[in-house]
Chains A and B, each alone.
Chain A
Amino acid sequence: MYEQVNPKLDLLTYRAGIVETLLRDMAFSISQTLEKPDENNVHDLRRLCLRLRHAVRLFGPLLPPRQARKVQRRLQVLQDLLGEVRACDVALATIQQPEVASASSKLETKKVAAALAAERRRGLRPLRARLRKLQHSDAIGRWRARLVAG
């Protein structure tokens, strides 16, 4: 993932490379998820969001503190929204595992799956709105300017 970052660089430049890579992948993942908010795309975007939050925290002392805090807050909101949808996807997959599915009747499992699907649809609405907002406001571009150039 970060193969293109040169290890001989000083840490300040190196961390810029890491954050830049994550931001680039995230911009792509946001458009993918908006286009098709399926299980895989939501999962990928959530993983990137977690990674970016972690990178901003780890390299926090090397970043402009106010800007880093701002980005952290935005990422936290996005991660919560992604988490709600992801929880439904995980639950849908888990109840279909043979060890779990065999414990209840097919009809019961179907009912639970329907409830989870409805919950997912509910969670997807605010997530899409947030992603659209991030895309239209060029949030990733601004974060790049704050974190990478900063």
Chain B
Amino acid sequence: MRFRPKRPARENATRLLPRLAAKFFRAGDASVEDDLHSEEVHDFRIRAKRFRYVLEYFRPCYGKALDAYLEAVRGLQAALGDLNDCHSTRVLLQHLLHTGNPPTRNQKLLGALDRRENDLFEKYRAYWHETLESPEYREKFMRYLTHPPRQPPKKAVHAAKSEAAA
């Protein structure tokens, strides 16, 4: 996407984020359809992370309501992160145990990691289905990204607070 550098950040955000969100949902749907060791799951983990980074960069352009959506993406990332931690541990141990002095084969440990990876994949799938799959949720999220509520000017907030205090 081409940025409009001279235009306000908020305007750029409302053009960029809905497109990224659409891609995020499409990639997520593909990742839960596939099996654990597919490229889709790994690619999606990276995509989800980047999506969250962009949401965070433009967080000041949206209201506090963005935090709830950010939390949902963070939850997803946590599930994918646990899965990746387990996978990278297995890969590292396979390398370390086979090249160690003396070389050993702790098959029980590697087997346990394999089982844990499968469990975590199921957890991730469940999270996706429960939290991010509903069309209503997606529509609301996309609408919010495209048309964030105008944040009231600071003076108005101050006036409202003093009124409430009185």
Contacts and interface: CB of A to CB of B under 8 A. Distances in A.
Interface in B20-71: 49-50, 53-54, 56-61
A88 interface: yes
A93 B60 CA distance: 35
B60 A112 contact: no
Contact of A11 (B3, B53, B97, B100): B3
B7 interface: yes
A10 B2 contact: no
Contact of B93 (A9, A102, A112): A112
Interface in A92-150: 93-95, 97, 99-100, 102-104, 108-109, 111-112, 115-116, 119
Nearest to A3: B60
Interface stretch (B105-113, B127-135, B136-144, B156-164): B105-113
A90 interface: yes
A15 B49 CA distance: 19
Contacts of B3: 11, 59, 61-62
Nearest to A62: B5
Interface stretch (A31-39, A50-58, A74-82): A50-58
A15 B109 CA distance: 46
A59 B111 CA distance: 43
A91 B92 contact: yes
A108 B109 contact: yes
A87 B56 CA distance: 25
Given A11-B12, A95-B89, A6 B60 contact: yes
A2 B85 CA distance: 28
Contacts of B58: 7
Interface of A: 1-3, 5-12, 14-15, 18, 50-51, 54-55, 58-59, 61-62, 87-88, 90-91, 93-95, 97, 99-100, 102-104, 108-109, 111-112, 115-116, 119
15 contacts: A7-B10, A14-B9, A51-B53, A61-B2, A87-B88, A88-B92, A90-B89, A91-B93, A94-B89, A100-B112, A104-B109, A109-B109, A111-B104, A115-B97, A115-B100
